[in-house]
Amino acid sequence: MGYARRLANIDPNFNSSQAMKAFSKSSEPINIAAEVCNIFRRAFTKLKNGRGGPVIVEIPADMWNEEVPEPLNYTPVLRTRYGADPVHVKEAAALLVAAKRPVIYAGQGVHYAKAWPQLKRLAERLAIPVTTSLGGKSSFPETHPLSLGSGGLAVPRAVPKFLGEADVIFGIGCSVHRDLVRHRHAEGQDHHPFDARPQPSQQGCRGQDRPGRRCRRWCSTRCWKRSARPSHRIATRRRSPPRSRPRTRSGWRNGCRS
């Protein structure tokens, strides 16, 4: 509840719809009783769609005595599901299949999507080593032969080695603008671990649910907007022509535990 409308913008009164605007998906006061339905329709649309986050509806103290016109013109809003462009997923799958030294970089989004079995199936099907961010730790079993270990400020030797030599890095449920550059650091490099840059010869493909976070510090040649679990499922299904058995890549994966 906020201050009365005639006092809402007078200092030092706290105005939550303004103060919380930077921390919420939407923030709006109810200034006219007739707009209640429209305001809550917008609020619930933001709340039920897209990435999760708080929604603020501020009710001024003097609004409680206002009459809302009836009948209410309100219909519950729908939750819209969206998916990746099948063309982009097909291209990303082909890129993974053709890669000689691919690495999967799994982030916390894999946990949110509960995509653990899909990640494991994709890695095993194409014999791709997997590393995770600190937030994505345990999204891929670290006892698995394809596991490189988890990242952070202290990383296993295999993580910077494989990321440094990879020709394709497949990021899923992750942000690469900070976490990945930490893993790329290795002793003897002439740059700080928090400011490393992928090599020009490397390609990247990434499934991420926030378009605004793409290509901020790293150019991904294939991107799509979708949650991690359906992305893994589609990428696995469109991986390549049917094979009688999973791919091995024995020469590339043998160093996972070195």
Contact partners, residue 231, CB within 8 Å, separation at least 6: 84, 89, 115, 172, 207, 224
The ranges of the chain annotated as CATH 3.40.50.1220 are 86-253
Q: Do the bridges between strand 102-106 and strand 168-172 make them parallel or antiparallel, or are there none, so unpaired?
A: parallel
CATH of domain 86-253: 3.40.50.1220
Q: Taking the CB of residue 72, how many other CB atoms lie within 10 A of it?
A: 10
| Model confidence, pTM | 0.63
For residue 204, list its beta bridge partners: 169
For residue 43, the model assigns a pLDDT of 93
Tokens of 89: 């997923």
Give per-residue pLDDT as tens, 65-111: 888 888 888 888 988 877 778 888 888 888 889 899 999 999 988 99
Give per-residue pLDDT as tens, 170-198: 888 887 654 454 444 433 343 333 233 45
